[in-house]
Amino acid sequence: MLTKEAILGAFQFRHACKQFDPDKKISDEDFQFILEAGRLSPSSFGFEPWRFVVIQNPELRAKLKAVTWGAQGHLPTASHYVAILCRKDDMRFDSAYVDHFMRDVQKLPEDVIKMKRDRYQKFQEHDLRLLESPRSLFDWACKQAYIALGNMMTVAAMIGIDSCAIEGYDQEATETVLANASVLDRKNFGLAVMVAFGYRNKPQPQKTRQSLEDLTVWVR
């Protein structure tokens, strides 16, 4: 049903769409499907650091446009525009969020919670040295968000919906705009990345990529 040819066809269809047809809107059902692919994405220890803020309000989009050089064509035309937030200190091994998460979402028994927390602590403190700085912890949470980001763009392409990931913004100014709009609690969240969805209004440019031979090393 899902053939390799059709799947790779979607990867060829996907491109960084710079501007959308402002008259074509993604149906609620299709957009729920895109969000669902984000929701079902894997994350480290399964702790889902992300939150999806869908920005449809024209005034907020206009404010974002002033600080987001990378979305000048997207913000006015995207059918759906998403800011992906990630948790900051909440991701620490000793946070109330992680405790709540293991208990109430993952529904782990008490002894497994203890074991998992110990492991997670060593992982953060030692293995990847994630607690080196607040930024290194946040960047790590954001890495997980990029899995969700990728999956959302991929499944969109699979049903003929265009997208563009957007990193071209002033982090400080953009977080301020989102905080002032009361959709970002800067104490606990930061902006990981943004992504616009819609339908292209121009043919896509030629895709360029390194060859698989240049990218891959085999140790047999």
Of residues 34-73, which lie at the interface with a second copy (CB under 8 A)?
Answer: 35-42, 44, 46, 48, 50-57, 60, 69
Among 109, 115, 128, 186, binds a second copy (CB under 8 A): 128
Helix (H, G, I), strand (E, B) or coil at 81: strand
Interface segment toward a second copy; rule CB under 8 A; list 18-26, 91-99, 110-118, 128-136: 128-136
Question: Bridge-partner residues for 48, per DSSP?
Answer: none
Q: What is the DSSP letter of 86?
A: E
Touching a second copy, residues 174-203 (CB under 8 A): 181, 183, 193
Per CB under 8 A, the list member of 147, 176, 179, 204 interacting with a second copy is: 147
If the CB atoms of residues 113 and 183 are measured against a second copy, the closer one turns out to be: 183
Residues in 70-99 that interact with a second copy by CB under 8 A = none
CB of 210 to a second copy, least distance (A): 6
Closest approach, Cβ 23 to a second copy, in A, equals 19
Q: Partners of 80 in the beta sheet?
A: 197
Give residues with Cβ within 8 angstroms of 41, minimum separation 6: 144, 147, 148, 151
Q: Minimal distance in Å, beta carbon 167 to a second copy?
A: 5
* 3-state secondary structure at position 65: helix
Q: Is 7 or 114 the residue whose CB approaches a second copy more closely?
A: 7
Q: Closest approach of Cβ 197 to a second copy, in Å? A: 14
Distances (CA, A) of 20 to 31, 70, 72, 119, 200: 16, 14, 11, 46, 5
Edge-first strand order for the sheet with 162-166 is: 80-87, 189-198, 162-166
The reply on whether position 132 binds a second copy by CB under 8 A is: yes
Q: Are 82 and 55 in contact (CB under 8 A)?
A: yes
Q: Please, is 101 exposed, middle or buried when counting C-beta atoms within 10 Å of its C-beta (0-12, 13-18, 19+)?
A: buried
The residue (of 22 and 46) whose beta carbon lies closer to a second copy is 46
> Look-up: residue for tokens 């803020």?
53
Q: Residue 46, Cα to own-chain centre: how many angstroms?
A: 15
**207 lies in the binding site for a second copy (CB under 8 A):** yes
Q: Which of residues 98-127 bind a second copy (CB under 8 A)?
A: 105-107, 123, 126-127
Q: Is 159 in the site for a second copy (CB under 8 A)?
A: yes
Scanning 18-26, 89-97, 110-118, 135-143 for contacts with a second copy by CB under 8 A, the matching segment is 135-143
Among 10, 8, 1, smallest CA distance to 155 is for 10
